[in-house]
A and B are shown apart, each in its own frame.
Chain A
Amino acid sequence: MNFQISLSGLNVAQQAIDLIATNIANAGTKGYHRQELNVAPIEFNATNVVTLAGAEVIGVRRAIDQMLERQILRVECQMGQISQELMTLQLVERTLGDIDSNRLGLALNGFFDSLRELSAHPNNAGYQCSVVEAGTALANEFQNMATFTQELDGHILLQADIIVQQVNDLATEIADLNAEINAAILRGNDANVMQDRRDQAIAELAGLVEIQADAGGALEGQVNVRVGGAPLVMGGQTIELEVTTDSNNTLGLAGAGSSTLLAGIDQGQLGALFTLKNSLLADITDSLDLLAGQVIKAVNEYHVQGVGTSGSFAELSGWAVGLSTAKLSELSSDISLGTLQLRVINQLTGEITIERVEVDDLDTTFGQFATTLSNLDNITAWISGSALHIQAATNYKFDFLPVCSGQYDPGTWDPVNNTAQIAISGIFEGSANEDFTVTVVGGGGVGIDEGLKLLVEDALSEKVAEFNVGLGYTPGDVLTLDNGITLTVSAGDFVVDDSFTLHGVADSDSANILTSVGINTFFSGSSASNIAICQDVIADPGRVATAMSDTMTDNRNIVRLGNIADQQIAALGNLTPSDHYRMLAAGIGRDVSVRFAKKTALQIVSNQLANQRDTISGVDINAEAAKMLLFEQMFQAMAKVLSVQNEALQSLMAIV
């Protein structure tokens, strides 16, 4: 009788029951894979005759499907990414506001509405103040959004640092477990629990960053982990990672101390943070900056040319743009070749001089430009604090109204014998500055001689208009061109074939100097983070430039400022400012909606995979209870066998 056989059976039953207890105890443990006993019969070889001699536990194995586990890791990674992106984008959407309370959209509309309403009350201080308030509200909303995105950028950096620290900690844990598992295997011990812990750490890591985990390597039982193709855990060794930005200011993951970013880090929470910082939020910030910049530019382009109820200026100061030695081309990319037109008004006599400053060389320095302005009569200009300052002489004022004017060159216009005076007025309705040639046809006395005419031709010598100013014309009668320019001719004489240039001014700042250096602008700044109302306008709302004609009592400038709301701006993709904002808001909404749908789909897949894993690796209480019954009976049976064997031996001993 072989007591060892019974003992082996008792041993197996005992270990089985212990394993069942372990499984049931860990039924709710995250990452635990059900363990199963691997039992084999004991083979006794006596002189080449194999005899079965009981059973033994040759090992405990985990119930695990590696392929399924890898799929689950992949989904974890995607879920980490989508969840992070969704959470952040929802935050952005909430900050922008609901459809009915989108503050930036309301502020944008409110600003243009205030301009429109001022056009009906251009002299009303209340409406002027409303424009300043609406502009301030708009600037504040832009700045709020810019501050929010900047803070969000900071939070993303902080969160990325925290997550990469978690990554490093988990990598260390995995490496340590690799070493421990190897040692246990070499000692012949069971390493299932450590393997479960390692698998759990790898699953947590997958949610943080996209990884590839593969078994293999020098150490038995080890799992190596790679991130972006680069090793993170190799056996018992780890490589520390850190979040960094490269030379293009792209945020990414790199080895500690390295500036070369790892490629392909798109998934996991870290991948989501990088995508948010480098792409999604960057696009939103760029879009906001573009919108703010274009609103500033469009408003200022009209504003610099007009005057408000406060009238022309004794002095104006711009904002700090550059040193006096800086070239005009370096001050702003918007400065181009063109003309700046000033009117200088003698307050005592009412005499008006129209000066035209040509910007014909962008290498001209800022200081040289100021000197050119100073060379104009009764105007002083200088650079101080990197800003342009312009001042009129005592009893003089100046402005930049786009009034049309005549240029009488001595070579083509006899100032002595042309005694009739031509007054030029009206608002030029062309889209760009245009010069016309006015030629005297016939010659003679105004209102007296038959056939005396003024022929107006464009730059291509095409006839624009021909006016009779001889017999039949009453001196002082208004002659109107189709483009809005009006002429009146006084009594006097004209010399036949003499001509002068008529400047049709659609833009008195065609070189974009004033808008670039901040002279008579409404807004200051160039982006969402620094847009503001100019202090001069805040201090005196009468400076809101409502008028643009020489009478300074019209409302044409404020009407065209209000019409910017409906203007399709090329830089905004031929959208109006409000359309651009709506596209931005709806785009964010679409991004949120898409990610929400993706997350829901991933949750379903994740749930299904979890169910599948639990089918293979989960602890079924009922199955374990059934096995427990089986091994309990086995234990009892083996004990009975042992007892019987013992009694038999006792009986034998009694016989001897």
Chain B
Amino acid sequence: MSGWAAIFNNTNFALTVQSEALARFQEQIASGQRVIRASDDPGAAHRIMYLKAFARNLESYERNLGTVESNLEQVTSCLTAVTESLSLAREKLTRAVNGTFSAQQRAGFAGEIETAIQMILMVANRKHAGQYLFGGSKISTVPYVATYDSAGRVVSVTYNGGTQDLPVPVAPGVEYSGVVVAEDMFKLDNPTGVVFLGQTGAAAGTGTSTIEGDVSLEVSRETVYGDTGGTNVAEGDSADTSDTIRGDHTLTIDTNAKTIKLDDGTAVSYDGVPSPTDFMIQNASGDVAYVDVSNITPDIGTVDVTITGRGLLSIDGGLSTHQTDYTDTNLAVSHSQTGLMLYVNTTGITQCGTEPVNKALPYDMFVDLIAIRDNLLNSDGALSVAEQNEELVDGLNRLEGLLSAVTNGEITVGSKLQAVGATIRYMLEDLSASSLQESSQLQDLDLTEAVVQLARTQTLYEMILASSSRLLNLSLLDYI
């Protein structure tokens, strides 16, 4: 036995320890949390604070996402309205072009075109949540400003919006714009995109082609012989169609031994060959040339002859051709009659043939619609019916391009909306849920365990009180 005072010390100490434990359990149970402050579990606290801050960050991204999504929904809705208006305009125009209508009836069509113009103007100037949707980053500026004639018809429309969109952070490292640059969709001044649709291997050059619509690019070739050195060697019958050499090559003719070789290929005998006017020779790389060896002058020694394989391109049906040694990245091929230009990259040409090429027509939404309306009106009678029809057909072609652009724009915005609304939103929700779940696992209290511990500690506390009371009451003085 360690002494009466020791009993007192132990009682005091144990009661202090257990009462502190009881207070701690009570705090945990009341809050439902195991980790309330950093000192409860510093490592877990650091992680919990990070996860909760991350979840809050994700909430701000979600709010931005909501803004972008809301804007894009409006943009989609607006583009649908524009498409409908343009479709209506096209319908009217098609009827006007195809049918026989009086001036008054055409004026009626013009009125409907004007309605479409006003409608599109209103839609293009749509404002949502304080932001103009179609002016790019200039969200405080009315994108389109119109001037009107005395009859209230739109005379001109000027774009005052921005040329860049407004990328907004919607997820960590991800930005999307909820506004669009309408001019990118409603106007195409200098269409640069030339599409090559054939199999020759020709591609667009770096220059700005001026062709419009559909054009056929004729790709052919020829083999040109330089100084033959008196050998009289010439191109074979099928050289133009079957030679595969590109650029300069060397024919080495040994007129004494009657052999011929192409570049570093094997020298072959041309004496007594079955088709001397169309003799095929090949170099080590596999390039082929067809040669006419029927008239080669014998016994004049060994002669080197330079032959050049080059391409010939034409967009005017062969009226003019343009040569290439297949190293041109920006060969200018012009139309001899119209002066229009097509820039071609010839480095990938592998075969001859006809290459269909298309370049979109330029268009300008409001300019084209106003022009169509004015043509229908023909208010000063300046145009004859034939001239009017011709202008209207041109307008119809431009309208087609416009409709296609707006439809493509609708699809682009729609896919963006899909990405924003589904993929990114799902990702944010998933990240947020997993963060909160992990922080909950780290922080939340196991209530069952806590209650059991509390009961145990409480029992221990009572036992300490009871035992110390019993022990401290015993004394020899009671028996003296």
Chain A residue nearest to B478 (CB atoms) is A625
Query: Is the CB–CB distance between A553 and B162 below 8 Å?
Result: yes
Is there contact, CB below 8 Å, between B38 and A614?
no
Which residues of chain B have C-beta atoms less than 8 A from A90's C-beta? 39
- Contacting residues, chain B, for A583 (C-beta < 8 A): 46
Q: Mark A216-227, 1 if CB is under 8 A from B, else 0.
A: 000000000000
Complex Cα distance, B45 from A429, in Å, reads: 38
Beyond A99-B36, A553-B138, whether A472 also contacts B169 by CB under 8 A is no
Contact with B along A107-130 (1 / 0, CB 8 A): 001101100110111111000000
CB-CB nearest in chain B for A606: B13
Inter-chain contact count A-B, CB under 8 Å? 197
> Given known contacts A309-B140, A553-B137, A582-B49, is B42 in contact with A589 (CB within 8 Å)?
yes
Chain B positions within 8 Å of A554 at CB level = 137, 162, 164, 166
Given contacts A471-B332, A472-B208, A588-B38, contact A116 B6 (CB under 8 A): no
A123 adjacent to B53 (CB under 8 Å): no
**Residue pair A477, B49 in contact (C-beta under 8 Å):** no
A590 at the interface (CB under 8 A from B): yes
- Do A123 and B140 have beta carbons less than 8 Å apart? yes
> Interface code B87-108, partner A: CB below 8 Å = 1, 0 otherwise?
0000000000000000000000
Which of A109, A120, A474, A618 is in CB contact (< 8 Å) with B4?
Answer: A618
How near does chain A come to B23, taking the closest CB pair, in angstroms?
13
A611 near B3: Cβ-Cβ < 8 Å: yes
Q: A interface, how many residues as a size bin?
A: 35 or more
B42-A120 in contact (CB<8A): no
How far, in angstroms, from A329 to B252 measured CA to CA in the complex?
78
The reply on B205 being an interface residue by CB < 8 A is: yes
Interface residues of A in 33-86 (CB under 8 A from B): none
Q: Residue of A at shortest CB range from B172? A: A566
A555 within 8 A of B: yes
* Residues B477 and A621 in contact, CB atoms below 8 Å apart: yes
A477 and B6 form a contact (CB under 8 A): no
Q: Which of B60, B130, B205 contacts A124 (CB 8 A)?
A: B130
Are B9 and A99 interface neighbours, CB within 8 A? Answer: no
Is the Cβ of A120 less than 8 Å from the Cβ of B56?
no
Bound-complex Cα distance A117 to B138 (A): 18
Q: Which of chain B's residues have a CB closer than 8 A to the CB of A113?
A: 56-57, 59-60
> How extensive is the interface on chain B, given as a class?
35 or more
Contact indicator A122/B139 (Cβ below 8 Å): yes
**CB-based contact A614/B477 at 8 Å:** no
In B39-62, which residues have CB < 8 Å from any A CB?
39-43, 45-46, 48-50, 52-53, 56-57, 59-61
Please indicate which of the listed interface residues B56, B162, B164, B175 has the most CB atoms of chain A within 10 Å of its own CB: B164
A407 at the interface (CB under 8 A from B): no
* Inter-chain contact A589/B39, CB cutoff 8 Å: yes
The answer to whether A119 and B53 have CB atoms under 8 Å apart is no
Stretch of B63-71, B115-123, B144-152 at the chain-chain interface: B63-71
* Interface secondary structure of B, over-half rule: mixed
CB-based contact B6/A614 at 8 Å: yes
Give which listed residue, A578, A593, A629, contacts B39 with CB less than 8 A. A593
Bound CA–CA A471/B343 (angstroms): 10
A interface, over-half SS: helix
Q: How far is the CA of A559 from the CA of B177 in the complex (A)?
A: 13
- Closest residue to B65 on the A side, CB-wise? A120
Evaluate contact between B37 and A549: CB separation under 8 angstroms.
no
Report the separation of the CA atoms of residues A555 and B169 in the bound assembly, to the nearest whole angstrom: 10
Min CB–CB distance A541 → chain B (angstroms): 15
Q: Is the CB of B168 within 8 A of A625?
A: no
Of the residues A559, A588, A592, contact of B169 by C-beta under 8 Å: A559
Query: In the complex, what's the smallest C-beta–C-beta distance from A119 to chain B, in angstroms?
Result: 6
A622's partner among B37, B67, B139, B476 (CB-CB below 8 A) is: B476
- For A604, the chain B residues whose CB sits under 8 A away are 13
CB neighbors of B among A603-621 (8 A): 603-604, 607, 610-612, 614-615, 618-621
A105 vs B54: C-alpha distance when bound (angstroms): 12
Q: Is the CB of B343 within 8 A of A472?
A: yes
Q: Are A582 and B46 in contact (CB under 8 A)?
A: yes
Q: A600 contacts which chain B residues (CB < 8 A)? A: 17
Q: What residues of A have a CB within 8 angstroms of the CB of B56 in the complex?
A: 109-110, 113
A589 to chain B: closest residue by CB: B38
Return chain B residues, CB-CB under 8 Å to A121: 67, 129-131
Q: Tell me how far the C-beta of B89 lies from the nearest C-beta in chain A, rounded to whole angstroms.
A: 29
Instruction: Check A472/B330 contact, CB under 8 A, given A124-B130, A596-B39, A621-B475.
Output: yes
Residue B414 is within 8 A (CB to CB) of chain A in the complex = no
**Which residues 355-369 of B have a CB within 8 angstroms of A?**
none
* Contacts A554-B137, A625-B476; A99 near B48 (Cβ below 8 A): yes
Q: Which residues of B contact A622 (CB under 8 A)?
A: 4, 475-476
With both chains docked as a complex, state the minimum distance between the C-beta of B261 and any C-beta of chain A, in angstroms.
38
Is A462 located at the chain interface by the 8 A CB criterion? Answer: no
Note all chain B residues with C-beta closer than 8 A to A110. Answer: 56
Q: Could you pull out 16 A-B pairs where Cβ atoms are within 8 angstroms?
A: A117-B63, A123-B140, A472-B205, A472-B332, A551-B138, A551-B162, A551-B163, A559-B169, A565-B57, A583-B46, A585-B38, A585-B49, A586-B42, A611-B6, A618-B5, A618-B6
Q: Which 5 A-B pairs have the closest CB atoms?
A: A472-B207, A589-B38, A614-B5, A592-B39, A113-B60
B residues adjacent to A (C-beta < 8 A): 2-6, 9-10, 13, 16-17, 35-43, 45-46, 48-50, 52-53, 56-57, 59-61, 63-64, 67-68, 129-131, 136-141, 162-164, 166-169, 172, 175, 178, 190, 192, 205-209, 330, 332, 341, 343, 443, 475-477, 480
